[in-house]
Amino acid sequence: MGPAERTLRMVSARLARALAETLDGQRRLIQLENWFDPDSLEALDAARTRLAGHSVRLASLRVQPHTTGSAEVTLRLATPQASHAAALRVSRHGQTWIGSGLVLG
């Protein structure tokens, strides 16, 4: 694994962790505005409302690189009652990494 892929995996893990922290109520949604596209923020807000009051943690993460600047990321979010799947695309736009196409099950 080269440096570009390591960076892509690190950024993907950080975005997934931030997503889980937001769903868990540890992080405010507004903190993610620079890192996720508007549609993904909307999906995250709806899921946050649906999961309010439940402890949410990142249980597993899979990063599938497409290029040195993009990957499909799948994750499993766990609450005490159930697991929830999520997927997003992580890609570089100039010097910034953006999560887009977020789908939360």
Please provide the distance, in angstroms rounded to a whole number, between the alpha carbons at the two ends of the chain. 31
pLDDT (tens digit per residue) in 62-96:
999 998 899 999 999 999 999 999 999 999 999 99
DSSP string, 4-36: HHHHHHHHHHHHHHHHHHHHTTSS-GGGGTTTB
Q: What is the pLDDT of residue 4?
A: 86
pLDDT interval class at 34 (50, 70, 90): very high
Q: Does position 7 have pLDDT exceeding 90, yes or no?
A: yes
Q: Which CATH number fits the domain that encloses residue 42?
A: 3.10.450.50
Whole-number pLDDT of residue 79:
95
- Give the total number of structural domains in the chain: 1
Find the domain containing 22 and state its range: 3-104
